[in-house]
Structure 1
Amino acid sequence: MNSLSKSFRTVCNAPKELNPQMSDLVRLGRNADGGYLLPRPVLAEIDGCLSFGLGAEWSFEQALLELKKENISPKNIVFFDASISVFGILKSLIYMGRRSIYEIRSRRPKSERKFTLEDLKRSLIALVTYLPTFRIRKNRFIHIRKFVVHKVTRGNEISFIDALSYRSDPMRTIVKIDIEGGEWDLLRGKEDVDLLADVPVLIMEIHDTRREQFMQIVELLKAHFWIAHLHGNTSDRCTESGMPLYLEMTFVNKRFAPESGIRTKLPINGLDFPVRPGEAPYEFVFSNG
């Protein structure tokens, strides 16, 4: 499939190395892009979140705080992203508006437009809520305006190791990575993966599952984690083998035991949702064969 938008269901016969273990999953965040699934029992052991990548959406972290408000301080939810500010969101919103007006005037079909009304709405909400969430409130999230990289070469960067030091309790802090392909710079091999060995839950969006490093990094992560959930990002095409080009994955530390057996099919009704409402989901079929 070569189209850039996905409007029909694709069944992915995923390799057994990606088999998700059974667990009682719960969704945190919006029922669209930005929400993620993780095992309910593990939440009792969580009191913080380190998020590499902010964008215009932080519903996962907000849901975590609301669910665990008696156990989590907002200062234990830390974001790293040098690209986001009030000015940056406003600039993005202006660009999206101009692009949308141009596409409407040129009568481009809705399915081919770069941005949807939902995208514009989300950015507008982000603009309105960014200041109170990250700057004004006494109990506010921490936003460090730096990109997380393997090796620092610029002033707006912080090393992977130094970013991880912002966890108040490494064994109780979720790490979430969604940095538009930057994960390949962070996780180059075993040494980098081992830095995450104490993380209770690792949530990561993999960009370009065609890369040879994809399965190599997954195997290294599985030395410390088991896979709890997969979700194909429907905002882009699938690969020649039928796998989503972008894959959201939830890894859970092996110190938390999964339930018996593997999950044979995804998505899960009522828990999994497409990136944008109305898009058809990727369907996964798993087996031990």
Structure 2
Amino acid sequence: MLIGLLPRFMQFHTATDLVRVGRDFDGGYLISKSDIYASDALIGLGINDDWSFESDFCQYKDVPIYAYDASVSKKVFFKNIKNSLRKFHRPKLLLHWIKVYCSYKKFFTGNRKHIEKFVGVNAGGNNCSMEDVFDDVNYSNIFLKIDIEGSEYRILDTLIKNQDKITGMVIEFHDCDVHIGIIESFIKNININLVHIHANNYAPIIIDNSFPITLELTFSKHAKREDKVSMPHKLDMPNNEKIDEVALRIRD
């Protein structure tokens, strides 16, 4: 098992009611069950071809879902099906995209909405700001899942401003080594407890200081907490199942 070292400001108390939401390995996160039950809506920023988190969340509490991602759509999935037809030597690829397309059509109906926009910059077209998202999703108790490939740093100030609306959230932070000061400021200024950290082992660990480049941080407003901390948690799984999980430690 690989060892990753975290700065002391990331020290936290674990939520006592963590559950794994989402598929095994990459795409699943540990969040507080109390936050799920306290939520009136779920905002998912970044879905790609995997909405297992959103689907599992609804198994605990069936709430309206707003999934933002401009990189995918029915048109994109149908195009992938057409392209895979040309690769007749790879029948599993065709079957995969057919399943994804059917799953997408089945899941995103009624109050489960896919908004084809990137969140981070108010630049018009298929881009919008986090302020726009909070304006559009008019609920008082919102859970957030955020995996937007670096644009998370653009929305942190808005999350702090709207923290009264947030029941809990999981954020995947990318390029943590060059944004460590921003992450520290966010943790100190958000009045929602950090209750879990997991390292995404698709990203490397810096040799000089053993710092993981990509981290998944879970925040909770409603969970009871305890001093006992285990990283990885018993419910954690490596994002990349083909290589070792990362055991995290707080630097002395």
* TM-score range relative to shorter protein: 0.7 to 0.9
Q: 1:133–1:23: structure 2 CA closer, same or farther, 3 Å change rule?
A: same
The equivalent residue for 2:220 is: 252
The equivalent residue for 1:173 is: 142
TM-score normalized by the length of structure 1: 0.75
Give the C-alpha shift of residue 85 in structure 1: 0.8
The equivalent residue for 2:131 is: 161
Query: Superposition pairs for residues 140-219 of structure 1, below 5 Å?
Result: 140-150=111-121, 152-170=122-140, 172-187=141-156, 191-198=157-164, 199-211=166-178, 213-219=179-185
Q: 1:183–1:120: structure 2 CA closer, same or farther, 3 Å change rule?
A: farther
The equivalent residue for 1:222 is: 188
Q: 1:266–1:155: structure 2 CA closer, same or farther, 3 Å change rule?
A: same
SS at the partner of 1:165? helix
Paired letter, 1:30: R
What is the root-mean-square deviation of aligned Cα atoms in Å? 2.8
In 2, Cα distance between the equivalents of 1:123 and 1:204?
27
Q: 1:193–1:141: structure 2 CA closer, same or farther, 3 Å change rule?
A: closer
1:22 to 14, 21, 46: 14
Give the C-alpha shift of residue 180 in structure 1: 0.9
| Cα shift readout 1:230-288 (whole Å, capped 9, x = no counterpart) | 111112222232222211111123xx36424251x31122x11112333311101237x
Query: Superposition pairs for residues 100-119 of structure 1, below 5 Å?
Result: none
Structure 2 stretches lacking a partner, 5+ long: none
Paired letter, 1:266: M
Answer yes or no: is the 8 Å Cα contact 1:10–1:283 preserved in 2. Answer: yes
2:71 to 83, 86, 89: 83
SS at the partner of 1:266? coil
Give the C-alpha shift of residue 95 in structure 1: 7.3
In 1, Cα distance between the equivalents of 2:211 and 2:81?
32
TM-score normalized by the length of structure 2: 0.85
Q: 1:123–1:261: structure 2 CA closer, same or farther, 3 Å change rule?
A: farther
Answer yes or no: is the 8 Å Cα contact 1:193–1:221 preserved in 2. Answer: no
Answer yes or no: is the 8 Å Cα contact 2:34–2:223 preserved in 1. Answer: no
Answer yes or no: is the 8 Å Cα contact 1:21–1:259 preserved in 2. Answer: yes
Aligned length: 246
Paired letter, 1:88: V
In 2, Cα distance between the equivalents of 1:258 and 1:91?
46
Answer yes or no: is the 8 Å Cα contact 1:132–1:140 preserved in 2. Answer: no
The equivalent residue for 2:107 is: 133
| Cα shift readout 1:178-231 (whole Å, capped 9, x = no counterpart) | 1111112223xxx434224221112111111111x3333333233312211111
SS at the partner of 2:149? coil
Single out whichever of 26-35 and 90-99 deviates more from structure 2.
90-99
In 2, Cα distance between the equivalents of 1:232 and 1:122?
28
Paired letter, 1:209: C
Matched, 1:266 2:231: yes
- How many percent identity over aligned positions? 26
